Structure 1
């Protein structure tokens, strides 16, 4: 892997000065021995990396990012979507919104609502504060999606509110 990286670095360095600058900037904190300035115009010594140190730094950054995400998610408002409507066997509801927690507008990625007794469908998510548009989508057994025939519904999530329930009514299709 290190040999492949060195070949790629050498190839980029020979192509242009800008490419060399980008590669050098990307690995500047991990460089043990820096290449001489002549490296740009002629083949020279390869850049040596402390792979273990690089892996440890990446792991530490990943752990820090996970901790930050967990802290942010913990402070978000818990939103419960509730829909009471009977549908056919093999069909299910999805909540599709323009936030990552609701599939970023993509029904294939959006979360499924959970069926409960009495044909009550629910979905709970920790959503960041703000105003978001969403719709309810029916997933058919053959994988097709039917979007409800209405304007996008608006969800307002105030900052600091611990929980919010959104009752979804009047779902109609063309």
Structure 2
């Protein structure tokens, strides 16, 4: 019988085995009971320390974040430049076939920053490889105008990271 301060649920595992998990509301552990239809008299209980599992999971997540930060630090810094006048409420985005440029999805691609003289810039640390990209104009109503023509190619060198500048010129729309 389960006390009022405990919660329980049962799962049917593969075959004739059932797994029941009972959690005590005041204790940070769970008791897992497994039974089989062949032998209902034999019950196995295993206590799992949920807090310890959560701490291990958190430690792994922090380690993965540190690895990603180290990898990003060793990437090439690419700075995109675009000199183009736009209307009120319009803005430019750089959309490319890499995660740093939105994976060709303008909704998640980064915005370029405007500065005096109608100069738009965007700077990112991008992984090595060859990537297609385009400049996309975001209209005030949320629509996107893609530049006409074939995709531009961004070549990020392998090896030692360096700074790279990309000028986006001759933008035409369909």
Instruction: Report the TM range for the smaller structure's normalisation.
Output: 0.7 to 0.9
Gaps of 5+ in 2: 1-5, 19-28
The structural deviation recorded for 1:47 is 4.7
Distance 1:47 1:96 in 2: 51
1:153 paired residue number: 152
Distance 1:68 1:148 in 2: 36
2:99 paired residue number: 100
| Helix, strand or coil at the partner of 1:165 | strand
| Helix, strand or coil at the partner of 1:106 | coil
Alpha carbons 2:148, 2:172 under 8 Å: kept: yes
Alignment of structure 1 residues 1-174 onto 2, 5 Å = 7=9, 10-13=10-13, 16-17=14-15, 39-41=35-37, 44-45=43-44, 47-159=46-158, 160-174=160-174
The structural deviation recorded for 1:48 is 3.0
1:23 paired residue number: none
Greater strand share, structure number: 2
Deviation sequence 1:94-132 (CA, Å, 0-9, x none):
000111110111100000000011111000000000000
Gaps of 5+ in 1: 21-30
Greater helix share, structure number: 1
Deviation sequence 1:55-102 (CA, Å, 0-9, x none):
110110011001000000000000000001111111000000111110
TM-score normalised according to structure 2 size: 0.80
Alpha carbons 2:96, 2:133 under 8 Å: kept: yes
The structural deviation recorded for 1:46 is 5.6
The range that moved more, 120-129 or 154-163, is: 154-163
Larger radius of gyration: 2
Distance 2:81 2:15 in 1: 58
CA-atom RMSD, angstroms?
A: 2.7
